[in-house]
Amino acid sequence: MSRQNVNDLLAFLAVARERSFTRAAARFGISQSALSHTIRQLEARLGVRLLTRTTRAVAPTEAGERLLQRIGPHFDQIEIEVDALNELREKPAGTIRLSAPDYAISSILWPKLKRFLPKYPDIKVELLLDNGLTDIVTERFDAGIRMGEQLAKDMISARIGPDFRFAVVGEESYFAEHPAPEKPQDLVQHNCINYRFPSSGALYVWEFEENGREIKIRVDGQLVFNNIFHVLDAALAGRGLGYVPEEMALPHIAKGRLARVLEGWLPYWDGYHLYYPSRRQSSPAFVALVDALRHRD
């Protein structure tokens, strides 16, 4: 098989899996028009249409889906075997792709990576912000970060952070006009800053606890974000009550910029874990990263 055919097939696999010329072109570092031209040339040589293109979506045709299922696993296996050659190197090397929420990146991953990366100059880490529940296998991530109770049972996991809890906070000007809630149910009378999950589109239901009994409150308000740092910014601006990780709010509470309410109603949650499929266990670079991220009491 010629090099051109191999490259064109890799281009097809990227578009078919991403369902997007934009995302596939970004992966290859080329323009969308160049990638589209490559696919058209491949279709012309094969004599069949591989992709159906509309203004909103890209999807494999019947022939394209067959090609994807037949050749995709072989190219995946080649990639795995090439990565395995890194085990023969004296120093761990390779690229590791991680999917993680914004708060986990800033509070756990980045502080540890700053110490890890200088020790392993041949390891590259790609961090992609993901506040949803992305399928890391389908999206070809090496590992993902989730809170303990969100982990899939068929994944291997390692704790990378301590248990933590959330805080309900508001700015002084907000409380000057609104009485502080005394129980979670009072929140339905308040202007609350909502958080929407990017993957499902659902609004986060604020979670509380009383004597071991779980209480969930659906709040309402003028603002909705899908980034927890924006929720905090809005609370600091006096635009309502925010439900954010406690560690994010504590510096502002200490300075008097925010006041917290309902503190006794908020439980601790199982902290962040790194999770991954078992096939990644053998990579020395991955093992070194997991060890560096692992939480130690």
pLDDT in tens, 117-175: 999 999 999 999 888 777 787 778 889 998 877 676 777 889 999 999 999 999 999 99
Give the pTM.
Answer: 0.69
Q: What is the mean pLDDT of residues 250-264?
A: 96
Q: Hey, which CATH number is domain 164-269, 3.30.565.10, 3.40.50.300, 3.40.640.10, 3.40.190.10?
A: 3.40.190.10
The average confidence (pLDDT) of the chain is: 88
pLDDT category at 84 given cuts 50, 70, 90 is: low
Q: Does position 282 have pLDDT exceeding 70, yes or no?
A: no
pLDDT category at 3 given cuts 50, 70, 90 is: low
Closest CA to 181 of 229, 234, 243: 243
Task: Give the architecture-level CATH label for domain 94-162+271-293.
Answer: 3-Layer(aba) Sandwich (3.40)
State both tokens at 293.
């991220």
Q: Does position 1 have pLDDT exceeding 60, yes or no?
A: no
